[in-house]
């Protein structure tokens, strides 16, 4: 599907979504968010798609935040709707049964940092900068940043970054556990593809269950261990489990079908 603010291409089962507003540092305006929602929904149901990479166009920014030009005239009601809409889209990413990697190619600020954090893994280029600068504008993160930053790096450093609006460089983000890898910009997509190739060789339904179980750890009122028991049972009821066990016992490579 052609989009106005996104470039999308699928090769060897990997969908690459590039947010394409480089002159605005890929800031997330309403239509960009809506296009991300559509492309993610399509990725859920498209059997060709086995993994997803989200990145930004150009060499300067992944996403420099929500589009500040759209902040004028935000009433209480409109602001809550805007935040709820962002949550819905970022939850769609976080709960996607297929692996989603953020290829962070520069500034990941505000909604950009929140977008990266909603992805399952993050690979950053050496020039990346992460931050939640919302307090500079008199607001707070509204797309999950106050929750996911704590989940990823812990309360101590999360509170500092949220209250000071400080940006952290890629190497510090790695040290904090905010990103999985830091690589030169020219190797960013290749590194993401390398990780996704590894995951692609595993049983897809088991990968989906891993994502569900890990996310269950952070859901209110859900007993994660109980959740794991049921998910384990579901996995044992798949053809892929029979294939995986048989392949091991017969010393051959498993050929998983996602069934």
CA distances to 5, 97, 115, 121, 244 from 90, in Å: 17, 14, 7, 14, 32
| Catalytic residue, candidates 59, 134, 172, 226 | 134
CA distances to 104, 126, 162, 173 from 191, in Å: 12, 13, 29, 17
- Residue 134 bears catalytic tag: yes
Q: Which two tokens stand for residue 27?
A: 């800031």
Q: Which is nearer to ligand COA, 45 or 69 (CB)?
A: 69
Q: Which is nearer to ligand COA, 52 or 103 (CB)?
A: 103
- Residue 11 bears catalytic tag: no
| Catalytic residue, candidates 77, 88, 114, 228 | 114
Q: Which is nearer to ligand COA, 67 or 94 (CB)?
A: 67
Asked if 131 contacts 166 with a C-beta cutoff of 8 angstroms, the reply is yes
Residues that bind ligand COA (CB under 6 A): 24-25, 27, 64-69, 107, 109-110, 133-134, 137
Q: How far apart are the first and last CA of the chain?
A: 28
* Distance in Å, CB of 48 to ligand COA, minimum: 33
Active site residues: 114, 134
């Amino acid at each position: 599907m052609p989009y106005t603010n996104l470039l999308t291409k699928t090769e060897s089962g990997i969908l690459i979504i590039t947010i394409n507003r480089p002159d605005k540092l890929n800031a997330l305006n309403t239509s960009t968010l809506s296009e991300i929602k559509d492309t993610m929904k399509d990725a859920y149901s498209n059997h060709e798609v086995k993994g997803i990479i989200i990145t930004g166009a150009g060499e300067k920014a992944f996403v420099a935040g929500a589009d500040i030009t759209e902040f004028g005239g935000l009433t209480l009601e409109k602001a809550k709707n805007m935040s709820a809409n962002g949550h819905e889209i970022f939850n769609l990413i976080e709960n996607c049964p297929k692996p989603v990697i953020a290829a962070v190619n520069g500034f990941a600020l505000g909604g950009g940092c929140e977008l990266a954090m909603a992805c399952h893994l993050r690979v950053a280029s050496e020039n990346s900068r992460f931050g939640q600068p919302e307090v500079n504008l008199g607001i707070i993160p509204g797309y999950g940043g106050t929750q996911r930053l704590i989940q990823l790096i812990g309360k101590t450093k999360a509170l500092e970054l949220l209250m000071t609006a400080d940006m952290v460089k890629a190497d510090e983000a790695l040290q904090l556990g905010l990103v999985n890898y830091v690589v030169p910009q020219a190797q960013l997509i290749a590194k993401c593809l390398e990780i996704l190739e590894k995951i692609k060789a595993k049983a897809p339904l088991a990968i989906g269950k891993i994502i569900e179980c890990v996310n269950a750890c952070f859901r209110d009122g859900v007993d994660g261990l109980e959740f794991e028991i049921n998910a384990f049972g579901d996995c044992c009821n798949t053809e892929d489990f029979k294939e995986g066990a048989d392949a091991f016992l017969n010393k051959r490579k498993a050929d998983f079908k996602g069934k």
